[in-house]
Amino acid sequence: DLAALAALGARDALAPARTIKHAPEYTTRTALADAGFSEPFVEDFFRPFLSGVFLEDTLETSSRVFHLVWRSMLRGALCLPAFGVQSVPRALAAALPEGTVRLGAPVSGLADGAVLMADGTELPARAVVVATGAGAAARMLPGLDVPAQRTVSTYYHVAPRSPLRQPVLLVDTHRRVLNTCVLSEVAPEYAPRGSALVATSVPGDDTEPGRSAVVTALAEMYGTDTTGWDLLVARTIEDALPAMPPPWPLTRTCRTGKGRYVCGDHRGTGSVQGALASGARAAREVLEDLGGK
């Protein structure tokens, strides 16, 4: 298994993304078996780890998506911005002229050459890029092909002291939780001094019976007494990721009609980098169509 892991790592890290995008496509489970991994290694490592990445636990995700995500993990470092993942759109917006971005301005629909705002106003637009989640995109662009969505719930516990003094993601071979991590070990900004913030994700809706099972699983995984931990909040995100079984299209155009475009993780790999890549493609197509550079 270690030799297979090294071979997989070398291949995915070095292969250009376009080679992976056009490689033969299977489920991730088949791709891992073909790559020479034993069934116990797949069950004990890949299945629990990837269930937290793809929010499904049968390894049915497209092998192309798996190889692209694996490639990103090998070539970059997993990270958590000190002030939350919103730092990414903030950094992008900071480069734009003042007043370009309006926040808290929901769109209710599209009209010919215009965007209809929920407050009743209309914004004329030569090009409209719908960059919402899949459900809202399908409402604005009738007939758009959108994938099923995966739901995830995350429990945030406050512990009086860190149960693990390392910035690592723990996965659960018993698959009671998707993964758990002491966020304040990754970024100390996430908890006041003298306490620790632990984030634990489970698949699907946040349900009451799940709560005690989660705390019991955490006690075992961290090897500590969790009775003194306080549940700060539990959040359920319904459209957390698209389901990405094969065949999963990765090279579709963003154009959906004259002056209309769509982008987002549901048009690429379900991930931040997939959403960014899809947005970059939409930008290239808009520029091409408007005759810009």
Ligand X SMILES: Cc1cc2nc3c(=O)[nH]c(=O)nc-3n(C[C@H](O)[C@H](O)[C@H](O)COP(=O)(O)OP(=O)(O)OC[C@H]3O[C@@H](n4cnc5c(N)ncnc54)[C@H](O)[C@@H]3O)c2cc1C
Tell me the closest approach of the beta carbon of residue 194 to ligand X, in angstroms: 26
Torsion angle of alpha carbons 214, 215, 219, 221, nearest 10°? Answer: 20
272 lies in the binding site for ligand X (CB under 6 A): yes
Enter the tokens of residue 293: 């550079």
Among 28, 51, 132, 149, binds ligand X (CB under 6 A): 132
271 lies in the binding site for ligand X (CB under 6 A): yes
Among 185, 265, 277, 281, binds ligand X (CB under 6 A): 265
Contact criterion met (CB below 8 Å) for 90 and 103: no
241 lies in the binding site for ligand X (CB under 6 A): yes
Tell me the closest approach of the beta carbon of residue 97 to ligand X, in angstroms: 20
SS (H, E, C) the chain: CHHHHHHHHHHHHHCCHHHHHCCCCCEHHHHHHHCCCCHHHHHHHHHHHHHHHHCCCCCCCEHHHHHHHHHHHHHCCCCCCCCCCCHHHHHHHHCCCCCCCCCCCCEEEEECCEEEECCCCEEECCCEEECCCHHHHHHHCCCCCCCCEEEEEEEEEEECCCCCCCCCEECCCCCCCCEEEEHHHHCHHHCCCCCEEEEEEEECCCCHHHHHHHHHHHHHHHCCCCCCCEEEEEEEEEEEEECCCCCCCCCCCCEEECCEEECCHHHCCCCHHHHHHHHHHHHHHHHHHHCCC
Among 62, 149, 154, 200, binds ligand X (CB under 6 A): 154
Tell me the closest approach of the beta carbon of residue 281 to ligand X, in angstroms: 12
Nearer to ligand X, 37 or 155 (CB): 155
Enter the tokens of residue 233: 């909040």
Q: Which residue is nearest to ligand X (CB)?
A: 264
Stretch that binds ligand X, among 10-18, 127-135, 225-233, 245-253 (CB under 6 A): 127-135
Q: Which residue has the tokens 């990721």?
A: 241
Tell me the closest approach of the beta carbon of residue 249 to ligand X, in angstroms: 15
Stretch that binds ligand X, among 168-176, 222-230, 266-274, 282-290 (CB under 6 A): 266-274
Stretch that binds ligand X, among 10-18, 36-44, 141-149, 234-242 (CB under 6 A): 234-242
Stretch that binds ligand X, among 22-30, 179-187, 244-252, 272-280 (CB under 6 A): 272-280
164 lies in the binding site for ligand X (CB under 6 A): no
Nearer to ligand X, 163 or 242 (CB): 242
Nearer to ligand X, 74 or 107 (CB): 107
Conformational region of residue 37, where left means phi above 0, alpha means psi within -120 to 50, and beta covers everything else: beta
Tell me the closest approach of the beta carbon of residue 9 to ligand X, in angstroms: 19
Tell me the closest approach of the beta carbon of residue 71 to ligand X, in angstroms: 13
Nearer to ligand X, 99 or 291 (CB): 99
206 lies in the binding site for ligand X (CB under 6 A): no
Residues in contact with ligand X by the rule CB under 6 A: 106-107, 131-133, 136, 152, 154, 237, 240-241, 264-265, 270-273, 275
